Chain A
């Protein structure tokens, strides 16, 4: 039996065995993070802090204390966006943003009069770096970019973009990139980065983090107990405590620690993935929604059919072939407007490191059969 789950951009499956191993260790051992100093608490605190260190290493920063645990990317993006100040009342966002950003952009507009402009881009949503040079960057408080689109899988050029925008703080949504492609937060000079634990990192849902290079950039989203400075009614000024009110999701962080410890290598290589895309591109009744250049393509893409609506196609793939995909707008209407697939959306195919070349071939065979029936 192959692995026909192709919805890893929604949430990864399967998880490495270490995830359930560590969750079970926590369920048996119990304990909370900090606040006391008996063995059970010390053991939990070690795992939580080791997970924080591993996340810092994963995104290429030495500022471990500037990694704040959150319940997911959306929570992390809310912490960053709602905690930021906007004296110029204008921000830049990429053309392929998820609603985790666009709904907040609308909220900023309606509540505080902060307007947003969309970064200049090519037809596949890739940021037009030459056009960035012509922007009046002094107008903007913040620039927000989805590192990898959750619709067409394009990888945005963060390093070059940050070089061009200079002093404008850059907030990165790494929901679809973390765990799949390298991130170098320090050498790229990224100001803030949000990620989730349950997609590319293959940890449990309910985990994620925000990295903030200069914590003075934001104010806390939540206020409450931290186990430190308990004599004060104010949040501590030091990190990570300042941004981590309340007991963290220790159970989830144990699972995330297991996932980060697992070191899973992909069962397929870039050549096999490119081969799959090339074969699908030859099917007459389907259109691939992907990066114009394979060099900028992450392990997810979309397809649309000349005959099936996205939901019909996803249903055919599941009912007849057992292939699980996601259809519709993927919570990213702006991305679909950019790519010309709004309002119907697409069927998204998102791979896992556990997929084999045989699984990719099975997916292609199913699409080929549907294609041949309709030709």
Chain B
């Protein structure tokens, strides 16, 4: 399977960062949704952002430019 196909989860340290990232993703016009953090990825009890893996390049650059650090995991269905 191509790395840019399917859906990816972006995991952040805090709700603050999730909301910062949401503002950026929204301003880029990228399709996304906020979903619970799956327990297999983290002990967080909060939220993460699901995007199409194909939107990664521009998104990663913009989040890094804003010093928003995150982990990306591919969703396997």
Contact = CB atoms under 8 A, between A and B. Distances in A.
Interface string B10-42: 000111111110100000000000111100000
B43 interface: yes
A45 B15 contact: yes
Contacts of A245: none
B36 A37 contact: yes
Interface in B32-71: 34-37, 43-48
Closest 3 CB pairs of A and B: A49-B19, A34-B15, A37-B47
17 contacts: A34-B46, A37-B35, A41-B47, A52-B16, A64-B16, A65-B16, A226-B14, A228-B14, A229-B44, A231-B43, A238-B14, A239-B14, A240-B14, A240-B16, A241-B13, A241-B14, A241-B16
A236 interface: yes
Q: How large is the interface on B (under 10, 10 to 19, 20 to 34, 35 or more residues)?
A: 10 to 19
A46 B45 CA distance: 17
Interface of B: 13-20, 22, 34-37, 43-48
Contacts of A46: 19, 22
Contacts of A240: 14, 16
Interface in A21-48: 33-37, 41-42, 45-46, 48
B51 to A, nearest CB: 15
B15 A33 contact: yes
Chief secondary structure at chain A's binding surface: loop
Contacts of A45: 15, 18-19, 47
A48 B47 CA distance: 15
B46 A36 contact: yes
A37 B16 contact: no
Given A37-B46, A236-B13, 11 more contacts: A34-B15, A36-B46, A37-B47, A46-B19, A49-B16, A50-B19, A227-B15, A229-B43, A230-B43, A230-B45, A239-B16
A239 B13 CA distance: 9
Nearest to A33: B15
A37 B20 contact: no
B44 A49 contact: no
B68 to A, nearest CB: 10
A230 B44 contact: yes
B20 A34 contact: no
Nearest to A44: B15
A239 B15 CA distance: 10
B16 A35 contact: no
A290 B16 CA distance: 42
A65 B14 CA distance: 10
B46 A35 contact: yes
A46 B23 CA distance: 9
A325 to B, nearest CB: 40
Contacts of B43: 229-231
Contact of B44 (A50, A52, A228): A228
Contacts of A41: 47
A36 B47 CA distance: 6
Nearest to B19: A49
Contacts of A227: 15, 44-46
A46 B35 CA distance: 14
Contacts of B16: 49, 52, 64-65, 239-241
Nearest to A49: B19
A307 B47 CA distance: 64
A35 B45 contact: yes
A52 B20 CA distance: 11
Given A45-B18, A49-B20, A37 B13 contact: no
Most B-side CB within 10 Å, residue of A33, A41, A49: A49
A296 to B, nearest CB: 36
Nearest to B67: A65
B47 A34 contact: yes
B67 to A, nearest CB: 9
